[in-house]
Amino acid sequence: MTEISAALVKQLREKSGAGIMDCKEALKECGADMDKATDYLRKKGLATAAKRAGRSMKEGIIESYIHMGGKIGVMVEVNCETDFVAKTEDFKEFARNIAMHIAATSPLGIVQEDVPEDVVNREREIFQAQALDSGKPESVAVKIVEGKLAKFFKENCLMNQLYVKDTNLTIADYLNEVIAKTGENISIRRFARFQLGE
């Protein structure tokens, strides 16, 4: 049995934001391997987040972020279950980071279903024309179009995007980490992004 030092637990706690006992358990389960323990905690966080998914969220905050000397502005509403969590620094930081992320990446919607149908149809037509122009048979072209659409959604839907501050995480991963940390269901409800002259 590997002896888990307090320093190692502290290091994992700082890296993951998880509780001391969770960090200790993760390190024991993963033979004191920091990367495996981090993944273990993330998976555990996802399981915890899934359990909380049905609970109602009537609290939260509206966060704003102004960038480039007033050239780009974002407002985002992030909801949680209780006023207590809404006032925590972790929750506020999450909302701020999401607003900054939206300013940087300009997503078209939170999830795939939020992207306007006309935008999706236009992209599909462009991808189809490109695939057919390359001389690929139609059966192959269909697969190419589906692959390009999947990539389009990954790049343009907030929950699928890689988090600008940590590209090892998607925004969905980051959200699930915060859910695990706060112990409450949290959701990004809506956002508006303004760019001067648009």
User: Within this chain, do residues 134 and 44 fall inside the same structural domain, yes or no?
Assistant: no
pLDDT digits (tens, 9 = 90+) for 67-94: 888 899 999 999 998 899 999 999 999 9
User: What is the spatial distance between Cα 42 and Cα 40, in angstroms, rounded to a whole number?
Assistant: 5
Per-residue pLDDT for 55 more than 80? no
Span 99-108, mean pLDDT?
96
| Structural domain that includes position 33 | 6-52
pLDDT digits (tens, 9 = 90+) for 134-191: 887 878 888 888 999 999 999 999 999 999 999 999 999 999 999 888 888 899 999 9
User: What is the spatial distance between Cα 45 and Cα 138, in angstroms, rounded to a whole number?
Assistant: 43
- Let me know if residue 143 belongs to a domain: yes
User: Within this chain, do residues 43 and 120 fall inside the same structural domain, yes or no?
Assistant: no
Q: Are 64 and 74 in contact (CB under 8 A)?
A: yes
What is the overall mean pLDDT for the chain?
87
User: Within this chain, do residues 90 and 34 fall inside the same structural domain, yes or no?
Assistant: no
CATH value at residue 139: 1.10.286.20
User: Within this chain, do residues 104 and 180 fall inside the same structural domain, yes or no?
Assistant: yes
- Let me know if residue 1 belongs to a domain: no
**All residues at 6 or more sequence positions from 54 whose CB lies less than 8 Å from its CB, including other chains:** 185
User: Within this chain, do residues 71 and 95 fall inside the same structural domain, yes or no?
Assistant: yes
As beta bridge partners, residue 67 has 72
Provide the whole-model pTM: 0.69
Span 51-57, mean pLDDT?
60
